[in-house]
Structure 1
Amino acid sequence: MSQLTLTYFDIHGGRGEPARLALHIGGLPFEDKRFAFADFAEVRKSTPLNQVPTLHVDGVQITQSDAITRYVGKLAGLYPIDALQALLCDEVLSAVEDANVKIGTTFGLTGDTLKEARTALVKGPLPLYLGWLQTQLQAHGGEYFADQRLTIADLKVFVFVTSLNSGRMDHVPTDLVEKVAPLLNTHCQRIAQNPAVVAYYAKFNAP
C-alpha cells in the first residue's frame, strides 16, 4: 500500500473534501495534513502550481484536485470500471469544477462588488449548472450520477451542494438549490446519511 498524504485547508468542504471522503469511505490509511488559511502563503511555496490540494504518493507530489480525487476514488473502489460510466462520472466532476471556478472568481471581493458578482452567479451560471446536474441525476436513475452506485461524482456534488446550502457564502441564498434543483438536496441528504460519511464527520463533530 502506498503512503498517502493529502494536504489541504483545515475546513469541511472545498476542493480537497471529496478526496478526503473517498479515502475515508474506502478505509484507506492516509495522512490528513490540514493547515489554517493564515498559513497558505507559506504552504503554497512548496506546491507545484502554488495551489492546494496536493497529494503525496510515496513521496511524489501530485497536484490538481480532480486528478487526485479520481486516483483515490480508484483506490477506494468509488470510480467506475466501465468506460462509459467512468465518462459520466468525469463529466460531473468537470461540470462541478467549472462551477467552482466561477465561484472562485468572487473570492477576495468585498462590499458592493462582491454582492454584484454573487448576484450575477445566482441569476445565471449557478442555476444553469444545478439544473444540468439534476437532469443528469434523473437520467441515470435518480439516486447516483454514474454506475448505479456511490462514486466520486456523488461526493463532488455532495460537497458542492453542501457549500451552497451552508450560508457561508454571502449573497448566495441558502434555498437556491431547493428552488432550482430540489432533487440535488435529496441526493445530498442521501450521501450525508451514508454510514461511512456519518462516521467521517462525527470525528470532527461537524455536519
Structure 2
Amino acid sequence: MNKMTLTYFDIDGGRAEPIRLAMHTGGIEFVDERFGFSEFPSVREKTPLRQVPVLMLNERQVTQSNSILRYVGKQADLYPQDDFQALLCDEVLDAIEDATHKLVATFGLSGEELKTARQSLVAGPLKQYLQWAQAKLEQGGGDYFIENRLSIADLKVFVWTRALSAGHLDFIPTDLVESCAPKLHRHMKFIAALAPVSQYYQK
C-alpha cells in the first residue's frame, strides 16, 4: 500500500482541499500534514518549486495540485476512465485553477489597491468563470459535471465556490455565486450535503 503525506496550510480550503476531500471520499489513508502561515518560509524550502501542496508518495515528493488531485481521483474512482470524459474533467480542473490564479494575484494587495483589483475581478473574470462553470454543469446534467456522478471536478468547483461564498475574501460579495450562477450555488449546497463531504467537515 502506498504511504501518502499531503502537506498544505492549516486551512479548510485552498488548493489541497479537493485532494483531502477525494482522499476522504475514497477511503484512502493519508497523513494530513498542516502548517501555519508563519511556518511557510521554512516549509517551502523543502519543496521542489517552493510551493504547496506537495504529496509525499512513499519516498517521492510530487508537486502540482491538479496532478495530485487527478492521481488521487483515479485511486478513489472519482476520475473518468473514458478519454473524452477525462478531457471534460480536466477542462474544469484547469479552468478553476486559472480563476484561482487570478484571485491569488490580489493577495499581496491592500487598501484601495485591493478593493479596485477585487471589484474588477468580480465584474470581469470571476463572473465569466462562474457562468462558464454553470454552463458546463448544465451540460453534465445539472447535478454533477461528469458522467452524472461525483468526480474530482465537482470537488474542485465546490471548494472554489465555497471559498467565494464564505465571506473571508474582502470585496468579494458573499452572494456572488448565487447571483451570477444560481445553479452553481445549488451545486455547492448539493455537494456539501453528500455524506462523505458532510462527514469530512463534521470531523
Instruction: Indicate whether the TM-score tops 0.5.
Output: yes
Alignment-derived partner of residue 191 in structure 1: 191
Alignment-derived partner of residue 9 in structure 2: 9
Partners of 1:138 and 1:197 lie apart in 2 by 22
Q: What's the offset of the Cα at 1:143? A: 0.7
Q: What's the offset of the Cα at 1:181? A: 0.2
Q: Are residue 175 (structure 1) and residue 179 (structure 2) matched?
A: no
Compute the RMSD of aligned alpha carbons.
0.5
**Structure 2: gaps spanning 5 or more residues:** none
Q: What's the offset of the Cα at 1:139? A: 1.0
Q: Which runs of 4+ in 1 moved over 4 A?
A: none
3-state SS of 2:61 partner: strand
Alignment-derived partner of residue 99 in structure 2: 99
3-state SS of 1:46 partner: coil
Partners of 1:118 and 1:69 lie apart in 2 by 28
| Aligned residue type for 1:97 | E
Structure-to-structure mapping, 1:121-136, within 5 angstroms = 121-136=121-136
Q: What's the offset of the Cα at 1:140? A: 1.3
Partners of 1:65 and 1:140 lie apart in 2 by 24
Q: Are residue 22 (structure 1) and residue 32 (structure 2) matched?
A: no
Partners of 1:195 and 1:59 lie apart in 2 by 33
| Aligned residue type for 1:147 | E
TM-score (norm 2): 0.99
3-state SS of 2:84 partner: helix
**Structure 1: gaps spanning 5 or more residues:** none
Structure-to-structure mapping, 1:96-175, within 5 angstroms = 96-175=96-175
3-state SS of 2:153 partner: helix
| Aligned residue type for 1:65 | S
Partners of 1:196 and 1:180 lie apart in 2 by 28
Q: Are residue 52 (structure 1) and residue 52 (structure 2) matched?
A: yes
Q: Residues 167-205 of structure 1: CA distance to partner in whole angstroms, max 9, x if unpaired?
A: 0000000011111001011101111011111111111xx
Alignment-derived partner of residue 40 in structure 1: 40
